[in-house]
């Protein structure tokens, strides 16, 4: 039998945080985007539970893969990828929040992402803005972000 502590560590190594999600991205979109990289054993899509935004997506989710290798592959392929015009932030759930992720443009410049060209002042060039708009259109077509948000059932049915 495995030591329970090692099981917790293994779970942390295969669990990903997905952030900077556009409000139009649904739970089904997240699963569809991340399922090509391996077997998803659990997924948590977070919603506002109170206040004026109650029932709306919080803009982030967690995905648990069956192995850390699958999680690593998904992280490397999806981090920074545009989804509905916003670069996804994908990292292991066990990683601490880094200050650089607060400014996706700065992170993109530092990482030399091919989809975003940055000037020395940190601003996007005109051609980079055009490329970003084209990528947004492509992602909207691929992921059907124009679909309606799922409504919560109030009569107790699943």
Instruction: Give me the residues of the chain with pLDDT under 70, please.
Output: 1-11, 96-125, 139, 142-158
* pLDDT at site 126: 72
* pLDDT at site 25: 92
* pLDDT at site 32: 94
* pLDDT at site 135: 74
Q: In DSSP terms, which residues pair with 10 in a beta bridge?
A: none
Terminus-to-terminus CA distance in the chain, angstroms? 37
* Contact present, 13 and 93 (Cβ < 8 Å): no
* pLDDT at site 113: 40
* pLDDT at site 156: 55
* Contact present, 90 and 75 (Cβ < 8 Å): yes
């Amino acid at each position: 039998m495995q030591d329970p502590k090692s099981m917790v560590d293994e779970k942390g190594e295969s669990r990903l945080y997905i952030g900077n999600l556009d409000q139009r991205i649904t739970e089904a979109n997240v699963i569809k985007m991340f399922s090509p990289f391996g077997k998803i054993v659990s997924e948590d899509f977070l919603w506002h539970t109170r206040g004026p935004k109650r029932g709306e997506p919080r803009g982030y989710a967690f995905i648990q893969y069956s192995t850390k290798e699958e999680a690593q592959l998904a992280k490397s392929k999806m981090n920074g990828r545009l989804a509905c015009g916003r670069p996804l932030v994908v990292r292991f759930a066990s990683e601490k929040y880094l200050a650089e992720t607060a400014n996706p443009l700065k992170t993109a410049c530092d990482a030399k992402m091919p989809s975003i060209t940055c000037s020395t002042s940190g601003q996007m060039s005109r051609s980079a803005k055009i490329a970003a708009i084209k990528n947004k259109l492509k992602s909207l077509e691929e992921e059907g972000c124009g679909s309606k948000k799922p409504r919560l059932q109030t009569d107790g049915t699943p």
